[in-house]
Amino acid sequence: MCNLTDDDISMNVGVFPGKFLPPHRGHITAILRAHALCEKLYVVVSERCIEDGELCNRAGLNYISGVLRQRWLSQELQGLEIVVLLQNEDAMAPFPQGWGDYATLLTQTVPEPFGVIFGGEESYRDGHKQHFPDVDYRVLDPERTQWPISGTEIREQPYRHWDYIAGAARPFFARKVLITGPESCGKTTLTRKLAKVYCSSWSEELGRDYQHDVVGGNGNLFDLEDFNRITHLQYEQDLKALRTANKVCFFDTDAVVTAFFSQVFLGSVANRVESFIEPSKYDLVIALKPTVPWVADGMRELGEQGVRDVSFEQLLKLYRQYGFNTDAFVVIAETDYYSRLEHCIAAVDHLLYGKVKTIL
């Protein structure tokens, strides 16, 4: 039988620190290698709110908080018994002046003695030797040969380096495109086509299926709770689509459209619908004008052209009321499907690449 001493045990406990802004395949691979070299691994996410905020801001990104990074890494590493911790370093001097405080804090953050720190920087060896004299420092893939990528490169050009971004972080970076408009504007078909053009995922409007399945296709049988349920279900479905997005994700509807139909059918907006309205969620809103022929499908209600035009204006008014900047919407008013599709592709290209490709 082999008796382990306290020292032997702590040697088997490892720590992998980093900013992970954002986590990428280089980080994940190095963490998994570290995990194979010890019995128990703690990943410690360093957060310095002002500096991290500036890094995000400079790259034109929303703030990526430490908790968000901790969540992403926890999603990536779950099931492997790797513990992901968050360490706020706002109170300490920046690197390298903060070395002493950093060493003290890390020892407090990790809830048990550890015997090895993993990293990818040979240049940190002396600092580790001085401030963690009893802890081994193991450098993994210092040349970044397997995945030649850094957090800076991803922040600056996320779409160019998309394949390196850890899966859990991709929904944050994916551009979100909403296709909206009143009934029978070709929304669903356009959303599907755009998703295929960009080889990505989309979320279809499920209210119609709900109408079919729950109230037998008769919109007059809706009650307010139905609209609450539709909004919840749509939110879940949108999340699912986002998780598999390839740089961009397309949404066939949103909670404003649900609020609109709640008003049309029942004269008021169901109580939980508004909490799902998020003007800042979308990077691009494409509004389809009812300038293509009406297609009756047995469930649509607002078919008369005058009513269709008024519906479009009422819908835009509702977006304004809920805080959307409708001046930034790309309005599709062409009367043929070819031109409508090309207009949408040009808008999405502009969003993704900052340019409009010549249409062949």
In the complex, which residues of this chain contact ligand NAD (CB under 6 A)? Answer: 17-20, 26-27, 30, 46, 89, 92, 94-96, 98-99, 102, 119-121, 127, 141, 144, 147, 149-151
Closest contact distance (angstroms) between CB of 248 and ligand NAD is 25
Considering the complex, state which of residue 127 and residue 279 has its C-beta at the smaller distance from ligand NAD. Answer: 127
Name the residue nearer to ligand NAD (CB basis): 98 or 279: 98
Cα–Cα distance, 329 to 317 (Å, whole number):
12
Distance in Å, CB of 358 to ligand NAD, minimum: 37
Spatial separation of the C-alpha atoms in residues 27 and 73, rounded to whole Å: 10
Specify the DSSP class assigned to residue 359.
Answer: P
Strands (E), 228-288: 248-251, 284-288
Between the alpha carbon of residue 302 and those of residues 183, 260, 305, 329, the distances in Å are 7, 12, 8, 23
As measured in angstroms, the least distance from the Cβ of 212 to ligand NAD is 49
With tokens 């699912």, the residue in question is 240
Cα–Cα distance for residue pair 185/187, rounded to 1 Å: 6
Q: Indicate the residue among 24 and 308 with the shorter CB distance to ligand NAD.
A: 24
Task: Please tell me whether residue 87 adopts helix, strand or coil conformation.
Answer: strand
CB of 39 to ligand NAD, least distance (A): 20
Measured from the CB atom, is 120 or 219 closer to ligand NAD? 120
Name the residue number minimizing CB distance to ligand NAD: 26
CB-neighbour burial class of residue 111 (10 A; exposed 0-12, middle 13-18, buried 19+): exposed
Q: How far is the CB of 42 from ligand NAD (least distance, A)?
A: 12
Q: How far is the CB of 329 from ligand NAD (least distance, A)?
A: 38
Which amino acid type is present at position 249? C
State which residue, 136 or 349, has the beta carbon closest to ligand NAD.
Answer: 136
Distance (Å, rounded) from C-alpha 136 to C-alpha 142? Answer: 16
156/274 with CB nearer ligand NAD: 156
